[in-house]
């Protein structure tokens, strides 16, 4: 597998400063509220102030994985970012999304929106793709196509971060997941309808091409999409833009807002297709990225 070297990442100093801010904010929220306190009690104006914050797990080095829940309706959407620490653009993008959710509570009053801005806290801190043990977390899920290895982990869910995310997903049962990665510059999907239709909408709204990459072995997409047969979208952002939250939000925010505002689209087939969704296209592919 090819992995982009950290040195190719020109925005590292700016993002490092941003992540320090993010980390401080998250830490503040965690310390201030703790995982069990009710929503909206503190930090008005900080991203997530109307949400219920929950520490869903901790990284190898003990950093919290904080997920924010908006609303308590029957349908659920999970948007998660930065499972690869060198693909951090999803973090400022999801923080902007949370600012928007804070300002527009009418959009989530009949749904549950879960936002996980940092899925690999140690990797993001170190600006490395992997977790602190050198494992690719997005190859560590118990998908049918998983491969045991030193890089993917010697067993499924060998890592605390992937275990936390796995258990959280089984608990909240999201209708749809959006995973934000870089730098493949496309919208990808796995699983049955409405995955393909939603991916087409997202591609149209972002200007990114729809590109069926195939489920990587042991990836979240392979597990949730192909093994559990549930819809999951992968938003693959360009490698540039990492240092520009405003540009990220203006370009990719509308697609996320459209998804959030239309919970009926999470469960209905928008195409009338049979739901196969091209699911077998390269399911065992093991190329780079994603």
Q: State the residues that interact with Zn ion by CB under 5 A.
A: 84, 87, 181
Q: How far is the CB of 73 from Zn ion (least distance, A)?
A: 30
Type and span of the H or E element at 115: strand 111-116
d(CA 59, CA 122): 7
Compute φ and ψ for 52, nearest 5 degrees.
-90, 120
The neighbour count for residue 172, using CB atoms within 10 Å, is: 17
User: How near is the Cβ of 215 to Zn ion at its closest, in Å?
Assistant: 13
Q: List Cα–Cα distances, 125 to 5, 20, 61, 132, in angstroms.
A: 15, 9, 11, 10
- Tokens 């195939």 found at: 214
Q: Which is nearer to Zn ion, 70 or 141 (CB)?
A: 141
To Zn ion, the closest distance from the beta carbon of 266 in angstroms equals 23
Q: Residue of minimal CB distance from Zn ion?
A: 181
221 vs 263, beta carbon nearer Zn ion: 221
Closer to Zn ion by CB, 52 or 137: give it: 137
Cis check: omega of the bond before 183, within 30 degrees of 0: yes
Unique residue bearing structure tokens 């970012």: 81
Q: Please state, in angstroms and rounded to a whole number, the distance separating the CA atoms of residues 70 and 104.
A: 11
Query: Of the two residues 181 and 230, which places its CB atom closer to Zn ion in the complex?
Result: 181
For residues 151 and 243, the answer to whether their CB atoms sit within 8 Å is: no
Nearer to Zn ion, 173 or 288 (CB): 288
CB of 153 to Zn ion, least distance (A): 16
CB of 15 to Zn ion, least distance (A): 16
């Amino acid at each position: 597998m090819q992995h982009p070297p950290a040195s190719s990442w020109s925005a590292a100093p700016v993002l490092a400063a941003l992540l320090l801010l993010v980390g401080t904010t998250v830490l503040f929220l965690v310390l201030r509220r703790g995982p069990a306190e009710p929503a909206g009690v503190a930090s008005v104006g900080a991203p997530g102030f109307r949400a219920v914050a929950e520490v869903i797990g901790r990284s190898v080095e003990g950093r919290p994985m904080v997920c924010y829940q908006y609303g308590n309706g029957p349908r659920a959407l999970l948007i998660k970012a930065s499972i690869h620490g060198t693909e951090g653009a999803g973090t400022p993008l999801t923080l902007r999304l949370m600012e928007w959710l804070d300002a527009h509570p009418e959009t989530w009053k009949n749904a549950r929106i879960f936002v996980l801005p940092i899925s690999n806290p140690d990797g993001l801190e170190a600006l490395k793709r992997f977790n602190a043990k050198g494992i690719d977390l997005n190859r560590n899920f118990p998908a049918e196509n998983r491969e045991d290895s030193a890089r993917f982990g010697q067993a499924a869910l060998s890592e605390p971060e992937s275990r936390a995310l796995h258990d959280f997903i089984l608990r909240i049962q999201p209708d749809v997941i959006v995973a934000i990665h870089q730098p493949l510059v496309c919208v990808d999907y796995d699983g049955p309808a409405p995955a393909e239709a939603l991916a087409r909408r997202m591609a149209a709204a972002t200007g990114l091409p729809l590109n069926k990459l195939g489920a990587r072995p042991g990836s979240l997409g392979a597990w949730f999409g192909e093994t559990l047969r549930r819809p999951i979208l992968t938003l693959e952002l360009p490698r540039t833009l990492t240092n520009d939250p405003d540009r990220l939000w203006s370009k990719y925010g509308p697609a996320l807002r459209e998804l959030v505002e239309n919970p009926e689209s999470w469960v209905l087939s928008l195409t009338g297709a049979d739901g196969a969704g091209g699911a077998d296209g390269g399911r065992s592919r093991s190329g780079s990225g994603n």
